[in-house]
Structure 1
């Protein structure tokens, strides 16, 4: 019996991207801010969010979006539209054709409407993630029904992996992957109930870490099987896993995220020694950082330079995987490793090579990790 032929999968390129955050409305502005060590995290006294002060990265109340919208869109939908709109300015694809899919990632979407709007018969439909998806689809004229990805805090990375697999299957040639979340009272009180919030700028992997910061923003990545620029970065590997441990507590061993990392590296066709940098999930909570450090050690990557952007952006939930992946892309293109703000002393059982200053280095492959409630994990490899 003859063996089945090996079918080669097409390369998947990242041909355009955007970060829309309190640090700026374009990737270029955001990356300059990151290289300068800037942070959007501030202590806010907003009774609408919390009776206690909250350290978070929030848009100013009077933020004026640099795009005109016709119709009624929520803040969440404006973030999605604004980010996609800016990313599309940097590539030439036919979003109205059948070969392009829109993928939208979020954890909470329009959940804030439950706080702000009177309870009326159609409120449940308005809050639904697929409602926002259709509004964004119609705004731009995508012909395919959008795919909604909502899997806790790995949503952004999972959206990229989903787009990669759809393109490799031959079903589509382009995928516009976007994600957004806003900080609302619902989100703040949820994390407060876990006693997971820090009252100051967070310190991922540091001995003195005491919790995370929340943030709001949006990110977009345009994937294509056709390279458009010489320095377009490829998505070369990725895997997901689940701890099956606890609804909110991470794995006690890190083995499941460690598996996802190792498998992502294997799928990319490289070895652990080839990873030039890690953009970690790094929430700065005691248990998540300990688990992630163990996982990185299990995968043989404890010596790879690592940083977390949570002190810069806060935890942007469904947008985090996209925003942080875009930053990793720019690191590869500019051959720089970003600093992990607030880190002073090793705070995990497994030591890590946490980068504390902007560092120039020849880079080839980057790893992005993510974990979330429900035990979900994801790892993604980006390559020049």
Structure 2
């Protein structure tokens, strides 16, 4: 079984336009969330992490025409550009492009501007990204709710094991569009305060927009320390179109299968990066799945109070942060955590601290009952 090595990466978010800026913000517990008002959708103000379009345009102008690309495309193109700039010898004719998103350019439904109607299609998003850089292979598109970003890494690993690919760039991105805001508002799931994952007084999610890209390879890099994806699994609990399983069965099975493929046990896991959306039912479900997996004492955090829930980008961003946490032997705080508010005990990271991390587990869950577990190893 081949491993998938996590190489160069980039994060474009309200906390910074590079991975380094994002990690620094997390170390300093600076959130990208700010108060938002959309009176045409909801009378109540809510918190979300929104990328300033002027800053985005200023950054993008160095690589392309800002009028030719949508906001999401500019975010995603900037992320890929950073990765390619540090890998000038990468052969794009043999490198796969895996694009992960939940809604893509859905904001064009409301205001297409000068863009053709076809630009809303995910296939057109993929074509735009691929043609900009000169990828010759048709992009793989993954749109499986909120596990999409992490699932992109799992798909790259599986393709590597069939020897269909050696290198790939996994790219994720989503916007805080009116469509997404209206959808979560209809579920009464938007918090009026910055979200509080796993806390007793949590009352819903904070949304976020971001893009991230990561170069991955089945070939081990010649560096002193590397992070590899060594186990992955996705199981659908088939519970409800939007509600998670009350027993955590799908996530539990995903964790067990990923650990089995990695040939390790739960006791080997040094750190757990949770989905942690701060909704009542998601956090409760996760706590039960972690307890059933004997992970209740493993240090765990959620990054949603920094980024908000960035949908199809979230699990990729959180995997990138996990990679750097492992390399630096650092545990980052689960921001806004207060009193534990789930039925099953968890060891939530309340403040930054150092810890040797050899194995880490990243989990994600999403609408339609999808669940994902990824096991990373430092070697």
* TM-score, L = length of structure 2: 0.95
* 1:369 corresponds to: 363
1:90-129 residue pairs with structure 2 within 5 A? 90-91=86-87, 93-98=89-94, 100-117=95-112, 123=117, 125-129=118-122
1:65 paired residue among 38, 59, 62? 59
* Maintained 8 Å contact 1:15/1:227: no
Distance 1:58 1:144 in 2: 32
SS of residue paired to 2:165: coil
Change (3 A) 1:226 1:48: farther
Distance 1:160 1:368 in 2: 11
Q: Post-superposition shift, 1:107? A: 0.3
Residues 343-377 of structure 1: CA distance to partner in whole angstroms, max 9, x if unpaired?
12111111100000001011101111000000000
1:181-260 residue pairs with structure 2 within 5 A? 181-228=174-221, 229-260=223-254
Q: Which has the higher helix share?
A: 2
* 1:300 corresponds to: 294
Distance 1:218 1:93 in 2: 23
Gaps of 5+ in 2: none
Q: Post-superposition shift, 1:15? A: 1.2
Distance 2:63 2:40 in 1: 27
- Does residue 77 in structure 1 map to residue 70 in structure 2? no
Q: Post-superposition shift, 1:118? A: 7.1
- Does residue 335 in structure 1 map to residue 329 in structure 2? yes
Change (3 A) 1:132 1:48: farther
* 1:6 corresponds to: none
Residues 67-107 of structure 1: CA distance to partner in whole angstroms, max 9, x if unpaired?
42147111111111111111223335534223x10000000
* Maintained 8 Å contact 1:44/1:56: yes
SS of residue paired to 1:153: helix
1:268-347 residue pairs with structure 2 within 5 A? 268-347=262-341
Q: Which moved more, 1:17-26 or 1:67-76?
A: 67-76
* TM-score, L = length of structure 1: 0.94
Change (3 A) 1:91 1:265: farther
Change (3 A) 1:92 1:267: farther
Distance 2:156 2:122 in 1: 18
* 1:28 corresponds to: 20
* Maintained 8 Å contact 2:9/2:19: yes
2:130 paired residue among 137, 140, 146? 137
- Does residue 163 in structure 1 map to residue 159 in structure 2? no
Residues 286-344 of structure 1: CA distance to partner in whole angstroms, max 9, x if unpaired?
00000011111111111100000000000000000111110000100000110001112
* Maintained 8 Å contact 1:277/1:305: yes
- Does residue 12 in structure 1 map to residue 4 in structure 2? yes
Distance 1:95 1:317 in 2: 30
Change (3 A) 1:51 1:208: closer
Distance 2:122 2:51 in 1: 22
Distance 2:15 2:64 in 1: 22
- Does residue 52 in structure 1 map to residue 44 in structure 2? yes
* Maintained 8 Å contact 2:53/2:71: no
Q: Post-superposition shift, 1:270? A: 1.1
* Maintained 8 Å contact 2:44/2:192: no
* 2:352 corresponds to: 358
RMSD: 1.6
Q: Which moved more, 1:67-76 or 1:230-239?
A: 67-76
Residues 131-181 of structure 1: CA distance to partner in whole angstroms, max 9, x if unpaired?
010110001111100000000000001111001111121111101000000
Aligned residues: 373
Gaps of 5+ in 1: 1-8
